[in-house]
Amino acid sequence: MVSNRLGLILIVLLFSLFFRDISAQENDSYYFFVAFEEKEKNNEITNPLSFLSQKSMDRRAKSNLAITSEDIPISKKWIQSISQIGNTHFHYALKWQNGIVVSSSDISVKDNYLAFDFVKLVKIIKTPAEASRRSVPLNIINQYNYGLASQQTELINIPILHEFGFRGKGITMAIFDNGFKHVDTFPIFSHLWNERRILGQFDIVEGDDNAIPHGGHGMAVLSTIAALSKDTMTGTAPEASFYLFRTEDNASETELEEYNWARAAEIADSVGVDIINSSLGYSLFDDSTTSHTYADLDGKTTVVTRAANAAFRKGILVVNSAGNSGTRPWRYIIAPADGMYVLAIGATDSIGNIAAFSSRGPNAAGQLKPNVSAVGAGVVVGDGTGAAGKSNGTSFSAPTIAGAAACLVQAFPKASNNAIFRAIEASSDRYDNPDFDYGNGIPDFKKAYEILAEKYLPQQFDQKLIRDFRFYPNPANDFIYIEFLELQSTPISVSIFNYSGIELLSQDFGFQTGNVSVRVNNLKLSAGFYVLELTRGDYLQRKIFVKY
């Protein structure tokens, strides 16, 4: 039997070989999405490791997600039948969308595709007229601001998780963007290559396995998560591992890019990605007749949003920029940020004021968007020289949150993507009074940690509320005081657990009466997060504290 590790290598190798067989298309081609009827019945679902990695299977198991017909690959016979039509070039299959993307210089082949009884519809998603060259400016200010990256991380309270060992280690992230120029040469990324944490690359646009050379936006995005340099900046998850996907074509803005995104999501699922960060979005296209209306952004209509929702159903946390249209006629969020299961991120300045350019909610179904916000105005990113410069955009607030989420996934490996999503929302400063500018507000990742700890740390007793007590200091050093008011001859005991649920010490204070202050001494613990478990008679409560 092939080992799980070898199986993953084979999957990545197959994707790489597949991409190498595809030549770049000329700009005179029409691109089509060919949608199929119900998938052909087969027995592949009995052997899911033939099309999913073990890591992908494990991620589903964590959330009790079944393998469904949606996961089954498209029939090879159907792909071959379409591909054999004259002047047809096959690009990729989309199993979640139940169709394939093909191109041809002859628009009339559409009728030939429709002649097959297994074809449901054919849609033109890019025309030759839309291939004129366009540039995508990064808007980076070429100035060095050493240390300023601390403001964007401190606003969401992520440094304290870093300090105690949660830096994204063991978590796999996929970055969808327009390219990653200089990621292979800039020193702020050298640790990723030295430690072999760039796990693979996929250029969906040109059909090969080199996503680096085409655009620099992805490099700046990646820096907010992965950069590690004492002289420039540190990202929010510098110990995570990454797959780099190029889905965005700088030459045009067409529906094809949504299908590219959907294809990347399926690959990300197959190789076992935990988190997708997408600093991309779609509303208006070069061909205005294909542009979305606001009504399309109802959380379930656009192709890219359906793909993002599908990725969530597979157990992946999907983080997406809300968009930069707050001061434009189109002021709303963009697809797939409208998705109900997409964590859409707005932009603030470094002190928490909403940025004027940050796209507003709600989505067209009236659902709260953005979900949360983080620094995106004057945000520190890797610039075109490999140093730290400033830029603007929800393109950078989104990966800041995605990286922080990776730290939570590391801390709570049994937590589902939905649990991580909801903890981030619940930790935010406007959670009790959200709005369509900030969403739930700015997350506090220490608080998100505490929310998850209540659920995922081992529960040995029924928890009941203990009133009229407090404990301090927190953070603690060598001791903790616990104060009670008006005890009525009650036995008191205290235990301390690490975040894995292992009891490290216990102290029994016997029966106590009246106003009482007890001291837990000799906290000979390593720096980190711990759980204080207080028992008073039949009552029990747990509190999180930090040991310095």
pLDDT score of 478 more than 80: yes
Nearest residue to 176 via CA among 76, 91, 266: 266
Query: What is the mean pLDDT of the segment spanning 73-81?
Result: 93
pLDDT score of 11 more than 50: no
What is the average pLDDT value for the chain, to the nearest integer? Answer: 86
Which residues does 317 contact at the CB level (< 8 Å), separation at least 6? 274, 275, 276, 343, 402, 405, 409, 417, 420, 421
In angstroms, the Cα distances linking 67 to 17, 58, 91, 270, 417 are 26, 11, 25, 12, 17
Query: What is the mean pLDDT of the segment spanning 87-113?
Result: 94
22-36, 128-142, 358-372, 484-498: range with lowest mean pLDDT = 128-142
- Collapsing DSSP states into helix, strand and coil, what is residue 276? strand
Query: What is the mean pLDDT of the segment spanning 226-231?
Result: 85
Please state the separation of Cα 530 from the chain's center in Å. 27
pLDDT score of 138 more than 50: no
Query: What is the mean pLDDT of the segment spanning 196-200?
Result: 97
Instruction: Please tell me the pTM assigned to this model.
Output: 0.79
Report residue 170's pLDDT band, with 50, 70 and 90 as the boundaries. Answer: very high
Report residue 345's pLDDT band, with 50, 70 and 90 as the boundaries. Answer: very high
- How far is residue 446's CA from residue 469's CA, in Å, rounded to a whole number? 22
Element (H, E) at 405: helix 394-411
Element (H, E) at 396: helix 394-411
Residue 523 or residue 341, greater confidence: 341
Query: What is the mean pLDDT of the segment spanning 163-175?
Result: 92
Report residue 388's pLDDT band, with 50, 70 and 90 as the boundaries. Answer: confident
Query: What is the mean pLDDT of the segment spanning 37-51?
Result: 74
Query: What is the mean pLDDT of the segment spanning 16-33?
Result: 56
75-79, 499-503, 518-522: range with lowest mean pLDDT = 499-503
Report residue 484's pLDDT band, with 50, 70 and 90 as the boundaries. Answer: confident
Residue 56 or residue 39, greater confidence: 56
Which residues does 33 contact at the CB level (< 8 Å), separation at least 6? 94, 97, 99, 100, 101, 122, 123, 125, 259, 303
Which residues does 154 contact at the CB level (< 8 Å), separation at least 6? none
Let me know if 355 is exposed, middle or buried by CB neighbors in 10 A (0-12, 13-18, 19+).
buried
pLDDT value at position 455? 84
Which residues does 36 contact at the CB level (< 8 Å), separation at least 6? 74, 75, 78, 98, 99, 100, 118, 119, 120
pLDDT value at position 516? 77
Phi, psi of 390 (to 5 degrees): -110, 145
CA geometry: angle 117, 120, 121, nearest 5 deg: 125
The amino acid present at 459, given as its one-letter code, is Q
Nearest residue to 314 via CA among 238, 418, 444: 418
Residue percentage of the chain with pLDDT more than 90: 61
Residue in the block written with tokens 């946390």: 317
pLDDT value at position 129? 63
Report residue 232's pLDDT band, with 50, 70 and 90 as the boundaries. Answer: confident
77-91, 215-229, 325-339, 464-478: range with lowest mean pLDDT = 464-478
pLDDT score of 34 more than 60: yes
42-46, 192-196, 279-283: range with lowest mean pLDDT = 42-46
pLDDT score of 371 more than 90: yes
pLDDT score of 154 more than 60: yes
